[in-house]
Every structure is written in structure tokens, then in C-alpha cells.
Structure 1
Amino acid sequence: MGEFVNKQLEANHILTDYIDSTSKYWTAFQLKQRVTKGDPGIYYYRRNSAAAHFDKQTLDHIDFEGVKLVHLSGIFPAISEQALVAFKYLLHLIAQHPTIRTTFDPNLRPQLWSSQEKMVKTLNELASHANVILPGVNEGEILMGSRDPEKIADFYLANGEVTDTVIVKIGAKGAFVKTRAGQATIVPGYSVDQVIDTVGAGDGFAVGVITGLLEGLSTEEAARRGNAIGSLAVQAPGDNDGYPTRDQLAAYQNDEQRV
């Protein structure tokens, strides 16, 4: 399984320099129901996996020079206490390089946490170390008690000293963007003919935002790209089957009837 993952990463031009192998533990995976509409059931098999035994000292081998952005997910710290320790150590290392920007997606996985209380407390604390936070309205309701996009944004802007931007995913309506300077706007979503499978939409949104920011787009334009990729993702059955090539994305975003 681990070798398969490596090959898939390499096939998609993602470097695997920092990936280690071990014969002590197995590679985590998940099973997902195949659906023709809406949200599928997902079953996680991550406890006691190789990732759950990640050694934080491995991070000392990373060369952070030249790194522009680090994307952080709430899934990894949920899989074990050891993973949470490693996650916090990564935050410590990133803090030593002030030019590195960080994005954080809560990626709520209640099944992986010992309790909802611990999940909420831990993820909100971790989020406070990120520059850009990408919660959804459903996540906001669980993490801070409101589905109001602006209240969610205000909560995280007040929660983190380094947080300067919050982009709240509001489903088919698009995204709500608010900055520490007080600028707030709704970036409209893209209309779709049919929602087949919602899994992967949030990650697709993150792909759009991250690549947009790396390429120098404004926050609003990055969110617009995120909306586009997310809308493509929900029209395909697999987690990332709907993700577009650069040319496909450009054509899709130029189709004004989609907005």
C-alpha cells in the first residue's frame, strides 16, 4: 500500500524525498461508500498505522529554505497523541521561518478523536497558529457554535495572533472572505447540474486557494479558483476524479454561465 501511494505521488509530479518507510506498521487507509448523490459513508482505518507513529525528529531533516507555504490539516493530529506532538513540533519549526505562510483546514473527523470536547479545543488551538484558515459553516457550528460565516471569521481572526485571513466555505453559495483589516466579501460559487459525491470538495477548494495564493492571486481570486475546483469535485464519484488540469480549469472559469 505504501509503495502504491509513493508511485501515485510520483506519477502526479509530487516529490517523495521526505517520505520514509517502515516494516513495523501498516499504511493507513479508508473505505468510502460509492454513491450516486450526496454524502457517502466513510470508514477510517488509521489507528496504530505508520503515520500514527510518526517521529517528530524526522521533521529536523526538512530544509525549510525556499518553502513558501505549508498547508496544515486537522486530520493528522487526530490520529494519535504522537501525531499531535509531531504536528505541534512542525508549528514550532515553521515559526522560525517568518516568511513561510500557513493555511489550515480543520478537516473535522470526529471518529478519530477521543471526544468532541478534545477535538474542538485542540483544533481551535492549532488553528491559532495559521495565517489563513479554511473552515466550513458546518465545522464552524461545531468548533465555535455558529453557522454565520462572519461570526466564524471573526472568531478565528480574534483567536490567532498570526491569523490574517479566514475563508469560510458556504456550500453552493461560494465562500465568505474576511481579513484582519476588516475587508469582507462573498465570492460566488459555481452552479452544477448534479451533485454526485461531495467528498473531495473541501480539498479541491484548498487546492484552488493554495495555488492561487502561491501564484500571486488576490485572496478573492484564489477563493474563486477554490470554488471552481470544489464544484468540479462534487460532480465526480471519486475523491479527486473531478479535479481539473490547468487548461480545463481555465475553460471552466471562463464559462460565465457557471457562476
Structure 2
Amino acid sequence: MNKKLDVVTFGEPMAMFYANEPGELHKALSFSKGMAGAECNVSVGLSRLGHSVGLVTKLGEDNFGHFITDTLNKENIDTSNVKFTNEYRTGMLVKSKVLTGDPVVEYFRKNSAASTISLSDFDGDYFASAKHMHVTGIFPAVSKSCHEFALHAVDFMRSQGKTVSFDPNLRPSLWPDTDTMVKAINGLAARANWVFPGISEGKLLTGHDKPEAIADFYLARGVSLVVIKLGPEGAYFKSSDGEGYVPGFKVKEVVDTVGAGDGFAVGVISGLLEQLPLQEAVRRGNAIGAINVMSPGDMDGLPDQEKLQKFMKQ
């Protein structure tokens, strides 16, 4: 029998090379290596806060694949459901360094090992060993079989009485067109308990521009909690128990915006699993999102409990 997990997630981890000096990506000469992938960021963040986490994926039998499992193992993430294949390679990306705004990211992930994940890779016992599952809208966009896997995983976890969180994490370039993306993402969101869209994602997905209306769109479809990320302003939440705005934290210097939303998800999920009041869980989400944008890489800034409490007290 598998050990009990607090959280399980699945997705595509990638090797990441991020430029060490600002400027156009093709002019960068030196890079640092890291691990990327929204689900990896959330896994690392939750593990650092003391939660037991398992990540399900498929990697190439190559140096990038082993670098990723080594990195996950160092972060105390369970990799017993990570499969290796000799037929396909591990995906990778390169990222520019910017002084303002979002970095340029170039992906090399077509026909990657993770894109071949299908229903035959689903291990019900492993998923059932977790209390909660986190899902993003990235993995279902990678391939048809990944989309089927995501739908099955969500339906399975709900049938087992587990909670499911969903972050749309929109990647329009991975979908054939906007309509397909909106339909698929909303189909997954409606199956989840907790949904965490950004305000611009919410506008695109629902056609509403006010946080209250975006929340109502998903609550009407059976979701129990909607938390909308409002950037530096903080977040808005709504559930049957109440609603409210939670202000953001001051950020001294934005180093890298990638991973802020994943940090936010870590805060809210960990807060709810630790049975914090809803408003306090959202406040924690704001705090970790703020901490994460002040560090390079996608997960370098994700705090442990001590660093988090210290930051939140300031």
C-alpha cells in the first residue's frame, strides 16, 4: 500500500535554463539550470511547508529526466509514480531575464515523454492515497491523451470524496484555438471544488469583468470556492460561507513574475489543508505569491513555514 499523501498532482516537469543577464534571449551567453512546471512549483511549495506531496509524470530516460527526479527527491516529493521511457525525451525551456514585465519563455516540449501520458498510466491506488489533488490547465493542453487523463483523475478523486483544486494557468499557444481552450478549461473547472483564476483569465473564460461575477459563474456550475488573483492588489474570494477582498503584500523588487500564481495556489491550498479560516488562507496565498516574485527561477523563493511567518508579520 502506498504511504498516505496530503496532496497529489500530475503534469509535465521540464528542465529550465534561465538567462543570467537581462536582455534579448538570443543574445544571452550564460544560463542557470533549474526545474520548471506549474505542478512542480506547487509540489515544492507545499512540501517546503511540511505537506507530503506526490507528483505523477513521465520523463525521458535522459539527463534532464534524472535531474528532475533528483530535484524532486531533494525537495522530499514522492516520485514513486514517475515513469521513464526510452522512446521520448524530457521537455525543456529557456527563459530571458527582464528588469520589468514578464520574461520571454521558449518551450521545447513537442512530443515529450510527458505528452504521451494516457489513461493506461493512471494508478487509482496511488491517487486514492492522497487527501487532495491539485490540477492546472497546462497539462490537459499538452495532448489529447493528457486531457483525457486529467478529466479521469478529477472525476476519480471526486468519486472518492477528495477535494480538488484547479488553476486555469492558461497557455493559449498550446491549444488549437481560444474556443477549444475556454470550453476545455471550464469543463475541468466545473468538476473541481476550488478554482483559482487570475482576473484576466477569468474575463476570458467567463466573459465577465468583475471578480464577483466571475466567481458566480463558477459557483453556479457547482464549484464550492472561487479565489481570483488580482495581482499586486491581492485577491477576491467567494464561497457559500462568504466573500471578501484580501489585500496584497508590498514587494520590494520584482525579479521574476513566473511562478507567482503557483505560489498563490500553495498558500491557499496549504492554508485550507491546515484548516485556517478562508480569509487567512487567501492572505497566505498573497504572501507566497509576493515572496516568489522577488526571486529568480520559478520556485527559488518558495518559503518554509518559518520564512513565511516572518514575512507575513512584517
TM-score (norm 1): 0.93
Which whole-Å deviations, capped at 9, do the CAs of 1:47-99 have from their partners, x for residues lacking one?
A: 2111110021221353344421100100000001111111111123213201x
Q: Which residue of 2 aligns with 1:82?
A: 145
Gapped runs of 5+ residues in structure 1? none
Counting only pairs closer than 5 Å after superposition, residues 75-224 of structure 1 correspond to structure 2 as: 75-98=138-161, 100-159=162-221, 161=222, 163-181=223-241, 183-224=242-283
CA distance in 1, matches of 2:179, 2:128: 37
Question: Pick from 222, 226, 233: which aligns with 2:292?
Answer: 233
| Counterpart secondary structure, 1:177 | strand
CA distance in 2, matches of 1:102, 1:212: 14
CA distance in 2, matches of 1:95, 1:179: 18
Gapped runs of 5+ residues in structure 2? 1-63
- Flag as ranges the 4+ runs of structure 1 deviating above 2 A: 60-66
CA distance in 1, matches of 2:220, 2:94: 37
TM-score (norm 2): 0.77
* Residues 1:5 and 2:65 aligned together: no
Asked whether the equivalents of residues 77 and 83 of structure 1 are also in contact (C-alpha less than 8 Å), the reply is yes
Question: Pick from 248, 252, 258: which aligns with 2:311?
Answer: 252
| Counterpart secondary structure, 1:49 | coil
Q: By how many angstroms is 1:38 displaced?
A: 2.0
Alignment-mate amino acid for residue 278 of structure 2: T
CA distance in 2, matches of 1:44, 1:219: 36
CA distance in 1, matches of 2:153, 2:209: 30
Q: Percent identity?
A: 43
* Aligned-residue RMSD, C-alpha: 1.3
Asked whether the equivalents of residues 102 and 257 of structure 2 are also in contact (C-alpha less than 8 Å), the reply is yes
CA distance in 2, matches of 1:101, 1:219: 15
Larger RCO: 1 or 2 (CA < 8 Å, sep 6+): 2
More strand by share: 2
Which whole-Å deviations, capped at 9, do the CAs of 1:212-251 have from their partners, x for residues lacking one?
A: 1111112211111110010011112221122122111110
Q: By how many angstroms is 1:36 displaced?
A: 2.1
Asked whether the equivalents of residues 69 and 101 of structure 1 are also in contact (C-alpha less than 8 Å), the reply is yes
